[in-house]
């Protein structure tokens, strides 16, 4: 049964994704060069193509094995890891919205020790680079996480979660350029592996945040994380989440994400990983045209976890039709309209 990938809500989709059946496996052999990389002081993370799963939407890979081979992605980015185990926010943790969803997971995770012992070894078996998303309540938490994980052979790089809207410390770091710069610099001192800073859209000037992260030593930026939002039941006068607010994701935020990726790409020279509302292969290329060299797919994986097994071939076909030999050639090629003459 074909699965629509252009839905703006569950209600407007003609078909549902089967929840049972064999896992889909295998990447597409490409005639177009889809490869890219994330730079780092000790050498880059080389990726077969530009598409990664967004942290928090793909578990640690194992959860999606019944539906897709996690190794079809260019790399694996698991849920955020903190020094100590976190139980997360109270339920309900998700709420559907027009063209998207709200979540308030609260960074539930097993903690550093359990991650290294039980989760990281399995992630390493997928045959693609493992990028560990780390989060902390204090700068020292991030430093200790980077120091501990830097010695793990399975770890290819880090993504710093300084932007989660569902916990106070996420916005505390993510909205303050000085705090962002200091945090990135502190982690940079602990590792020569590629370092990605994940930025929040809940700021007035994304370019300022991008510059701060780059000055701190980030090798790449990922943006955007979810947008602060609410969903309220007027009859009960209560939130539809277990918290008052949550993070909005899905197609609703794609125009905002495209704009912020474009603005960030004009502010810094380091690579950008675009995130926000990708539901079609064309959206991958849109993000790349405005300045992203890689992308992450998140919310869409909940309804179509095997989408990538089709998208790579479709992306290759679109690029071939346009005479593009390497996907890197389209990065940052957006041509803004000419200014109006008064």
Catalogue the active-site residues: 164
CB atoms within 10 A of CB 245: 15
Task: Tell me the Cα Rg of the chain.
Answer: 19
Give the Å distances, CA to CA, from 2 to 153, 200, 301, 310, 315. 40, 34, 15, 11, 18
Q: What is d(CA 136, CA 185) in angstroms, rounded to the nearest whole number?
A: 15
Closest-CA residue to 264 (of 230, 239, 291): 291
CB atoms within 10 A of CB 321: 8
């Amino acid at each position: 049964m074909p699965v629509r990938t252009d839905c703006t809500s569950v209600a407007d989709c003609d078909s549902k994704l089967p929840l049972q059946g064999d896992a889909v496996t295998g990447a597409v052999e490409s005639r177009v060069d889809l490869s890219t990389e994330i730079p780092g002081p000790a050498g880059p993370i080389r990726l077969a193509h530009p598409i990664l799963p967004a942290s928090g939407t793909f578990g640690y890979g194992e959860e999606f094995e019944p539906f897709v081979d996690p190794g079809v992605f260019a790399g694996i980015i698991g849920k955020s890891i903190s020094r100590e185990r976190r139980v997360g926010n109270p339920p309900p943790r998700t709420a559907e919205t027009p063209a998207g969803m709200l979540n308030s997971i609260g960074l539930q995770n097993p903690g550093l020790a359990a991650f290294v012992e039980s989760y990281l070894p399995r992630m390493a078996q997928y045959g693609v680079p493992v990028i560990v998303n780390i989060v902390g309540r204090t700068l020292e938490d991030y430093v200790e996480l980077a120091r501990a994980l830097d010695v793990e052979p399975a770890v290819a790089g880090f993504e710093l979660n300084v932007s989660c809207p569902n916990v106070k410390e996420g916005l505390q770091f993510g909205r303050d350029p000085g705090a962002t710069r200091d945090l990135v610099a502190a982690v940079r001192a602990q590792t020569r592996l590629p370092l990605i800073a994940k930025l929040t859209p809940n700021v007035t000037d994304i370019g300022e945040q991008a510059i701060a992260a780059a000055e701190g030593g980030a090798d790449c930026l990922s943006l955007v994380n979810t947008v602060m939002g609410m969903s309220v039941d007027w009859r009960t006068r209560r939130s539809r989440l277990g918290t008052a607010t949550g993070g909005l994701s899905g197609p609703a935020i794609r125009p905002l994400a495209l704009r912020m990726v474009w603005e960030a790409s004009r502010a810094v020279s380091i690579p950008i990983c675009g995130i926000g509302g990708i539901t079609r292969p064309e959206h991958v290329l849109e993000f790349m045209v405005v300045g992203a060299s890689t992308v992450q797919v998140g919310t869409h994986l909940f309804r179509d976890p095997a989408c990538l097994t089709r998208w790579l071939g479709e992306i290759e076909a679109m690029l071939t039709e346009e005479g593009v030999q390497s996907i890197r050639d389209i990065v940052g090629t957006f041509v803004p309209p000419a200014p109006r003459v008064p």
